[in-house]
Structure 1
Amino acid sequence: MPGLLLTDRQKMVIQFRKEGMTQQEIADELKTTRSNISLIEKAANDNIRLAKEALDYIYSLEATLVCTLSAGSELTQEIFLIYKAARQTGIKVQYDTGALLSRILTAVPEKISDGTIREDINVYLNLTGIIYIY
């Protein structure tokens, strides 16, 4: 079916990797090369990342920008700005500090290095307390 997010081959590779198989084991199973499996896996992960970004964007349309974490600052210190900004809106953030740190690190790893924010990070909050990070 055209327009699917992942090809059947990408789905198989992702499933095999989740089961703990190495790229070489998958290549042997599918009768191809390890480098081909590497390319398939990378393409699948890129597609998954893009889909997550698209969904986050759609969800953020119903959210409000509550603060921007500034480049050059330490993430562990800046994170408290999120809670402060959320309090001002009267919305309770649904994450404790550890979960919020993890969410930020997962959402924008390219904007953080060794705990330091390398690029400004925009933080959005919806009415139910869910945070979206860009």
Structure 2
Amino acid sequence: MVATETTVLTDRQVTVLQLREQGETQQEVADKLGTTGSNVSAVERAAETNVEKARRTLELVRTLRAPAQFTVSPGTSFDEVVDRVYAQGDDAGIRVAYCRPELYAHLYGLLAEVTDENRLISAVRIGLTEAGEVRVFNDLE
């Protein structure tokens, strides 16, 4: 049994995830746990939601801990975002760890869901680490 006291998952969620990762169907898990397939589905869905929240929390903290941070407004083009990353790095004395094409690709991968026709559709928070890594948090209101 995995200790869950220090995680965002319940014991039941861990058990369901473990059994599902081992290739068991929801009905097989339900039979083992003496419950219904729909209950297993709900537990699995709640576990995945908790995992996603934990991942997003880590993204936020990593961005907030970056020594150079800035917010980019909706409507900003990718060209402007890339320019701002380099400008912020220069201002903070941080060498960005990506050449321009790599930075475009990196940012596009991180921001694809908040981009439309090469422009941001929502505000994002960008952080630069001491090592020049670019962190993004895109749940700003």
TM-score (norm 1): 0.65
Q: Counterpart of 1:44 in structure 2: which amino acid? A: A
Which runs of no fewer than 5 residues in structure 1 stay unpaired?
none
The answer to whether the 8 A contact 1:69-1:120 is kept is: yes
Query: Partner amino acid for 1:84?
Result: Y
Partner of 1:103: 110
Deviations 1:33-82 (A, max 9, x none): 222122212221222223233333333343145443332456x5555245
Once residues 42 and 113 of structure 1 are traced to their aligned partners in structure 2, the CA distance between those partners, rounded to angstroms, is 27
Provide the C-alpha distance between the structure 1 equivalents of 2:83 and 2:30, rounded to a whole number of angstroms. Answer: 47
The corresponding residue for 2:29 is: 26
1:37 corresponds in structure 2 to 40
Are 2:79 and 1:80 aligned?
Answer: no
- Secondary structure, counterpart of 1:133 in structure 2: strand
CA contact (8 A) 1:13 1:41 kept: yes
> Greater shift after overlay, 27-36 or 6-15?
27-36
Gaps of 5+ in 2: none
Q: Is the Cα–Cα contact under 8 Å of residues 89 and 128 in structure 2 kept in the other structure?
A: no
Task: Call closer, same or farther: CA 1:61–1:69 in 2, change over 3 Å.
Answer: closer
Q: What letter corresponds to residue 87 of structure 2 in structure 1?
A: A
1: CA distance, partners of 2:7 / 2:133: 28
Q: Quick check: which has more Rg, 1 or 2? A: 2
1:8 to 1:120, Cα distance in 2 relative to 1, 3 A: same
Classify 1:21/1:100 alpha carbon distance in 2 versus 1 (closer, same or farther; 3 Å). Answer: farther
Quote the Cα distance in structure 2 between the aligned partners of 1:82 and 1:71: 14
Offset, 1:121? 0.9
Q: Report the number of matched residues.
A: 128
Secondary structure of 1:16 counterpart: helix
C-alpha distance in 2 between matches for 1:10 and 1:71: 37
Q: 1:85 to 1:41 in 2, by over 3 A?
A: farther
Question: In the superposition, relative to structure 1, how do residues 61 and 71 fare at CA in structure 2: closer, same or farther (>3 Å)?
Answer: closer
